[in-house]
Structure 1
């Protein structure tokens, strides 16, 4: 029975992790003393348009910038002019087409069996998963926030988020999604450096 319980528990964990909506990660320059960073400004370089109307969007830019500024303010960082900044911040976005499966018919099944004879006892556990879906394409949204030292422009931290892009969201829903994504990425800034 313990084997069955462990198997069921393991499968549930795998399914929950696999269904996570936003995948977040970060990387940083290990020699950096992040405790010295107090003031920041937006990176001065202008980003050229991508040609994709879903990415080249001033309304989305304002949502992202407001969310990043709010998160940094909550962490005690002050937005200043470049000459007073310890670090600069920028962000990038991208959409990539992915192939997945869709359609109904998904199922998970578990089975437990056993037999006993006068000389032995046997038991078994089985697990089956079927998608029954058809291949389909979808857009995956990639989002990154970069932090660079203001004077040298050396990249010292990057946080990324990847999630399935969703279309046709109302402005309020889109704003909430941006805030949640930025919050999740910046939860890891500054990093806990050993």
Structure 2
């Protein structure tokens, strides 16, 4: 019985550990046939930030730093592409489910083991979403779109700037697509 308890405890800990490690999800899409090697300069077209406490100028600065680290140059006029930034919050898609395991100590010769599951609890939590569009200036054609989902809203505070910087870095490392 003690061995069974140890095995079930290890399984429960493993489940909680794996399910509790939520992270930011990154995705991108691009126009096929585009020669991204010709893109050298960019300028800002629009930046929309709809998260309370998030600083639009700070987000633009972090995007600028990453793009310049990747070799792109910010110019006022005559840029190859425009950069658009959208940041907003939404209710997370994932459901909050619960799993319970119960063990009863033996009373006499009998012991008990139970396993239960719960239905979705609550309505989810707020998460941040960041979308960066790279648009060709001459044709206004969308060339690349990258998005980061499930960003904790805490990342948008000033003291969490290193985490936000890393999120932007991970997102923009997908540009240009390989």
* TM-score normalised by the chain length of structure 2: 0.70
| Residue 139 (structure 2) aligned to one of 152, 156, 168 | 152
Cα deviation code 1:54-82 (max 9, x no counterpart): 1xx6x621121111111111111111122
Aligned residues of 2:41 and 2:81 also touching (Cα < 8 A): yes
Residue in 2 aligned with 1:32? 34
In structure 2, relative to structure 1, the CA distance for the partners of 1:186 and 1:16 (3 Å cut) is farther
Residue in 2 aligned with 1:179? 165
Aligned residues of 1:106 and 1:133 also touching (Cα < 8 A): no
Aligned residues of 1:138 and 1:164 also touching (Cα < 8 A): no
Distance in 2 (alpha carbons) for counterparts of 1:46 and 1:146? 10
Cα deviation code 1:21-41 (max 9, x no counterpart): 100000000111000000111
Gaps of 5+ in 1: 1-7, 110-127
* TM-score normalised by the chain length of structure 1: 0.64
Gaps of 5+ in 2: 1-9, 103-114
Aligned residues of 2:28 and 2:147 also touching (Cα < 8 A): yes
After TM superposition, the runs of 4+ consecutive aligned structure 1 residues lying more than 6 A away are: none
Matched, 1:137 2:132: no
Question: SS at the partner of 2:33?
Answer: coil
Aligned residues of 1:95 and 1:139 also touching (Cα < 8 A): yes
Cα deviation code 1:95-145 (max 9, x no counterpart): 11236327xx75689xxxxxxxxxxxxxxxxxx785688334311211100
Question: SS at the partner of 2:126?
Answer: strand
Distance in 1 (alpha carbons) for counterparts of 2:138 and 2:156? 40
Residue in 2 aligned with 1:61? 56
In structure 2, relative to structure 1, the CA distance for the partners of 1:46 and 1:53 (3 Å cut) is closer
In structure 2, relative to structure 1, the CA distance for the partners of 1:46 and 1:189 (3 Å cut) is closer
Residue in 2 aligned with 1:188? 174
Question: SS at the partner of 1:82?
Answer: coil
Aligned CA RMSD, in angstroms, stands at 3.4
